[in-house]
């Protein structure tokens, strides 16, 4: 079964982009892969990503990476696509602004919003993953090799107000976003409109469902509270009644006690409407509350 991460990567791997964006995207891919002055080695479990990276090298540098396919490690059933570039390494790394003394790309690689979006897209296709909103909690993450680079990516993401953070995870650094709305914004940033539609539909459905559940829970809590209050009032009235104490109440309070026993399941609002209708004398919920307070005070004295 295809994961949501794969669906997003498949979509963005088919984008038509201009040269400056291609360079920025490929820069992010390479810096998060294995490289030295003799070879660049990139591996991915996504066939669309492999084709994308292959095309970027071919179209931008006229080199044709060697492609090897093998089974995944540790019983992983997914295939791993390995791309190896063994020529023009110096020119490629220089063009991509990848140098041994710095892990952060030079400004000319990401000098506007479009190239920054492309860079983040390249980061996502090579080291990102995103949970399917239908199946689990909202979560987007990237894994990078050093803290300086992690801080740079967090800063870059937060220029789009995505509220990203990072933590150290074993020998790597994990950058993550957990807010559903921010993850949807990230999908827009990397230009994955189909994934955005799917993600937002599920998010809105889940939010609506959660709101409905909260309202139902709140309503049930109110019903439980109403029943508990009514039962306590009946218990207090019966206690007073057991010693012949109803006559100790004034007529208005006694009337309320009689109506409570007659309508044990009515809420205060319902009871006030019933009494007003049957007696022709209007009484509010607040008025009922004060009369039941007098009943409660007398019941405590009886106790």
Quick one: the chain helix, strand, coil %, rounded to 5? 60, 15, 25
> How many C-beta atoms surround the C-beta of residue 17 within 10 A?
19
DSSP string, 266-285: --HHHHHHHHHHHHS----H
Query: Is 153 within the bounds of a domain?
Result: yes
Same domain, residue pair 34 and 171: yes
Same domain, residue pair 165 and 231: no
Q: Are 41 and 48 in contact (CB under 8 A)?
A: no
CA 166 to chain centre: 16
* 3-class secondary structure, 32: coil
CA gap 155, 178 in Å, rounded: 16
Please tell me the total count of domains within the chain.
Answer: 2
Query: Is 199 within the bounds of a domain?
Result: no
The conformational region for residue 178 under phi > 0 = left, psi -120 to 50 = alpha, else beta, is alpha
pLDDT of residue 203: 80
pLDDT of residue 262: 86
CA gap 198, 187 in Å, rounded: 11
Structure confidence at residue 161 as a pLDDT band (50, 70, 90): very high
Same domain, residue pair 242 and 295: yes
Which residue range(s) make up the domain with 294? 226-302
* 3-class secondary structure, 88: coil
Query: Is 217 within the bounds of a domain?
Result: no
Same domain, residue pair 53 and 159: yes
Question: 269-289 pLDDT, tens per residue?
Answer: 888 888 888 888 888 888 888
pLDDT of residue 170: 86
Mean pLDDT of 116-122: 96
Is the pLDDT reported for residue 302 higher than 80? no
> How many C-beta atoms surround the C-beta of residue 295 within 10 A?
22
Query: Is 92 within the bounds of a domain?
Result: yes
């Amino acid at each position: 079964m295809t994961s949501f991460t794969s669906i997003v990567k498949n979509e963005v791997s088919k984008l038509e982009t201009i040269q400056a964006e291609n360079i920025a995207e490929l820069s992010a891919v390479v810096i998060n892969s294995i490289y030295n002055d003799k070879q660049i080695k990139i591996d991915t479990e996504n066939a669309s990503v492999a084709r994308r990276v292959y095309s970027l090298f071919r179209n931008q540098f006229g080199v044709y990476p060697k492609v090897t396919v093998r089974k995944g490690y540790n019983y992983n059933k997914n295939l791993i696509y390995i791309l190896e570039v063994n020529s023009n390494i110096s020119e490629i790394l220089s063009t991509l602004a990848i140098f041994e003394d710095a892990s952060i790309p030079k400004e000319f690689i990401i000098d506007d919003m479009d190239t920054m979006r492309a860079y983040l897209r390249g980061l996502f296709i090579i080291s990102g993953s995103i949970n399917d909103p239908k199946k689990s909690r909202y979560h987007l993450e990237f894994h990078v090799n050093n803290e300086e680079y992690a801080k740079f990516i967090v800063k870059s993401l937060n220029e789009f107000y995505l509220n990203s953070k990072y933590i150290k995870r074993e020998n790597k650094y994990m950058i993550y976003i957990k807010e559903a709305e921010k993850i949807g914004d990230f999908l827009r940033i990397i230009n994955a409109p189909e994934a955005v539609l799917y993600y937002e539909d599920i998010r809105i459905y889940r939010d609506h469902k959660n709101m409905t559940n909260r309202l139902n829970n709140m309503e049930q809590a109110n019903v439980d509270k109403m029943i508990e209050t009514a039962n306590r009032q009946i218990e207090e009235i019966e206690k007073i009644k057991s010693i012949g104490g109803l006559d100790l109440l004034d007529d208005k309070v006694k009337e309320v006690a009689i109506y409570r026993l007659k309508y044990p399941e009515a809420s205060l609002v319902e009871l006030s409407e019933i009494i007003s209708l049957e007696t022709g004398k209007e009484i509010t919920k607040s008025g009922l509350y004060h009369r039941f307070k007098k009943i409660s005070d007398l019941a405590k004295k009886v106790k």
